Structure 1
Amino acid sequence: MRSIAAAHAGPRTTFTGRLRGLLIAVPLLTTAILALTPAPAQASRPACQRYDTSVTLVPDATVRYRVAGWLCRPSRPTGTVQILLSGFTYDHRYWGLPGDDHAYAQAAIQAGMAVYTVDRIGVGASDRPPAEQVTVTAEAFVTHQLVQQLRHGNGWIRRVVGVGHSYGSAIFMVEAAGHHDVDALILTGYLHRPNPVQQAAIAAGLHPAHQDPAFAGERPPDGYVTTTPGTRGGDFFYLPGAARDAVASDERAKATGTTGERATMNLARDPSYSQHITVPVLVVVGDHDTLNCDAAAGLRCGTAGQICARERGFYPPSSPLYAAVIPAPGHSINGHRTAALAYALANAWAGAATSGLATFWPQCPA
């Protein structure tokens, strides 16, 4: 399989040239991407609305919580919506909203798909339940409710693509394995074998959110944590590849996590979940993602083929699995200069996976 990393070009290479370089080994795929990507004028002026939902953390519970969300549609008709879930200590701002030319959400709208970007339960404008109750299994059930409410409350939605970053990917893996109500998954920044050294380093840099100046006016409940000021650049970024002002913006926009999330975030790495995922899956990582990659420890992320070798055995042989490696980002791909490559590839793949054209893409061999 050819990876994006194989197409990394010099500074004078245009974006279009870099994308074509990625696809040179798969000529039919270029045609598919061009067919699935509308001109900017066709996808301009998205219609966005605040779209909050009421959920429970477990079935049959009586206590309900509010999940804050934003549902945005392109100007032309579409039957596909992407649900965007952020990672640990991130909220919806990781994906941005339409109107921000550097945001994933804007790229999805320009590709002709709707987006539903949310503040996961416990972060941002959403309610904050007791910290120990906010776990990956609870959030998977919350996400299942989001999928169902979107499908049943909007007659135009026929296809749902789950898009996760890091912990958000873990949530979608558990949700898709148990509920089978999404049509495709894009999992970024989450592999079955993480780098335990970097995991421990990030954990050591967490502290109670109520002690952090960023949340001084919010009084987060006990058990809510966040990153220590000044640590996110080293934890989540490959600094030589970071976009201008991205690290400072990431510090300003940081969100909270919970003790429940910390205790269960690795649960999705149990193959009993991925072995029950039956929809097409695209796995995307940055080649400098220290949470997932360490060549010296055998955790190689240099090519899509290496990602396939690491991940293929965790999924059913009959389930289509795809992989891509983005050149020069760290863990939080969206804050790096090559993010546009990831956006273009993910949205082209999402369009293909939901329209019967995924056969043009090279799969990880079973």
Structure 2
Amino acid sequence: MLFPLPFSKLSLSASILSTLLFNAAAQTASSLNCTEFFVPVNISTQTSKLNVTAPSSQAEMTGLITRMTWANSSITNDVNLGTTALNATYKIWSQLCVPDGFGANGTLEFTIHGGTENHTYFSLGKDSPFNYAQAAVQAGHAILTYDNLGAGKSDKPDGIQEVQISTETAVGIALVEQLPSVLKFGKLVGVGHAHGSVIMMQMLAQRGNLFDATVLTSIASSTLGATTGIAAMNLQIASESAPEFHEGLSSAYTVSGGWTSDQTTFYHFPFFDADVLDDLHRGREVMALGMLLTLPENRPALNYTNSVLAVTGDRDYFMCAGNCNVTTNGFDSAPAAVAGLFPAAKDFTTHIPENTGHFLNYHHSAPQTFEFIQNWISGAL
């Protein structure tokens, strides 16, 4: 059951929002009791001054993407003019789903979706086998999903100078810090997907034990397939390629080029539902150029001491160039090598679903993957 509320009518004082969420949790007609709201987040961070302007044509956009995917491309260094301080307030669209009987000692899952996605990556269709949020609620957990800055219903500021990794990281940290005023809970688990996992690792590198346990999906220690994956996406100017969704949006925002591009990059044939791919492609979610131009070097989370689970499909094209079961940095797979970024973690577990691509939530293996994750969370807390 959804409770959509416009930002202008919603105060996020602790008392009002707690009452709102209590009423949502008290609903009994559905296994998914969800509340939608906007969260104003205040951030202060350092961003990169990028010597790049929004492309004036698709030809210029394609040329920029081509430069990003050259062998040994140095574009991220070439266009970086240093750092600058950013102090800003953004409205972030969020959804909280709470199971019946959830108490102050319950577990809350905090999710971050990836690029070319929005919050629906974790909540695709009520009673769908691809709905991770429903699996979490059925396990007795509350779950918060949100649209990243520059995606979905959240604010879309300058897509080059503001929507960057550091900004998305600051937004994630700010949201976590506000959670206690939104819902009383006992344990907090982070769940990231792909680019969302990258953001989550940056959060942990900065803040240590933000989460009592962390699940990183569609991740590897080195993105072997990133350049070919970005090229395969065939990125288009969103306002030109999908004006029915993004008319008037700055040309710094892109969408994937087509059904075939999506399949090549994100799915492993024939182990997915073609109708799901078709529905998602029609939605044409955006991705900002600033995010692509500020992809970080992996930083170890030296002060994170809790448990970590890495879940990546064996045929993840974007992360592993289609083969994740390869020895990497002395580890027996590319996802397992992520353990090197968590030297103080209590334990590190790897799970590699078979016949599964980058969008692992949308493959036929998803129900078994969700079950594995929920069982792992229960054992890790």
TM-score class, shorter-chain normalisation, is: 0.7 to 0.9
Kept after mapping to 2: 8 A contact 1:44/1:110? no
Cα offset for 1:341?
Answer: 1.1
Residue 369 of structure 2, aligned match among 324, 342, 354: 342
Distance 1:250 1:98 in 2: 11
Q: Deviations 1:188-217 (Å, cap 9, x if unpaired)?
A: 1111111245234236x1121111126555
Distance 1:250 1:123 in 2: 14
Q: Deviations 1:164-223 (Å, cap 9, x if unpaired)?
A: 1100000111112212322211111111111245234236x1121111126555422231
Relative to structure 1, the CA distance from residue 209 to residue 331 in structure 2 (aligned partners, 3 Å threshold; closer, same or farther) is same
What secondary structure, in the 3-state scheme, does the structure 1 residue paired with 2:312 have?
A: strand
Cα offset for 1:77?
Answer: 2.0
The two structures have a TM-score, normalised by structure 1, of: 0.76
What secondary structure, in the 3-state scheme, does the structure 2 residue paired with 1:310 have?
A: helix
Q: Which residue of 2 aligns with 1:141?
A: 170
Q: Which residue of 1 aligns with 2:149?
A: 121
Cα offset for 1:276?
Answer: 4.1
Q: Which residue of 1 aligns with 2:159?
A: 131
Residue 256 of structure 1, aligned match among 283, 286, 299: 286
Distance 2:188 2:305 in 1: 14
Relative to structure 1, the CA distance from residue 167 to residue 131 in structure 2 (aligned partners, 3 Å threshold; closer, same or farther) is same
Residue 90 of structure 1, aligned match among 88, 100, 117: 117
Structure 1, unmatched stretches of 5+, are 1-41, 355-366
Q: Deviations 1:1-34 (Å, cap 9, x if unpaired)?
A: xxxxxxxxxxxxxxxxxxxxxxxxxxxxxxxxxx
| Corresponding position: 1:100 with 2:127 | yes
| Corresponding position: 1:199 with 2:229 | yes
Residue 309 of structure 2, aligned match among 272, 275, 282: 282
Relative to structure 1, the CA distance from residue 318 to residue 93 in structure 2 (aligned partners, 3 Å threshold; closer, same or farther) is closer
| Corresponding position: 1:76 with 2:101 | yes
Alignment of 1:1-366 (within 5 A): 45-58=31-44, 63-78=88-103, 79-96=106-123, 99-102=126-129, 103-132=131-160, 133-154=162-183, 156-180=184-208, 181-196=210-225, 197-202=227-232, 205-213=234-242, 215-230=244-259, 231-265=261-295, 267=296, 269-270=297-298, 272-294=299-321, 299=326, 305-307=332-334, 309-354=336-381
Distance 2:303 2:232 in 1: 30
Q: Deviations 1:232-281 (Å, cap 9, x if unpaired)?
A: 0111000211124122122123311111110123x1x42x3334433211
Distance 1:314 1:235 in 2: 25
- The structure whose RCO (Cα within 8 Å, separation 6+) is larger is 1
Fraction of identical pairs, as percent? 27
Distance 1:295 1:252 in 2: 25
Relative to structure 1, the CA distance from residue 239 to residue 43 in structure 2 (aligned partners, 3 Å threshold; closer, same or farther) is farther
Distance 1:62 1:306 in 2: 40
Kept after mapping to 2: 8 A contact 1:43/1:112? no
The two structures have a TM-score, normalised by structure 2, of: 0.73
Kept after mapping to 1: 8 A contact 2:268/2:355? yes
Cα offset for 1:152?
Answer: 3.1
Distance 2:316 2:338 in 1: 16
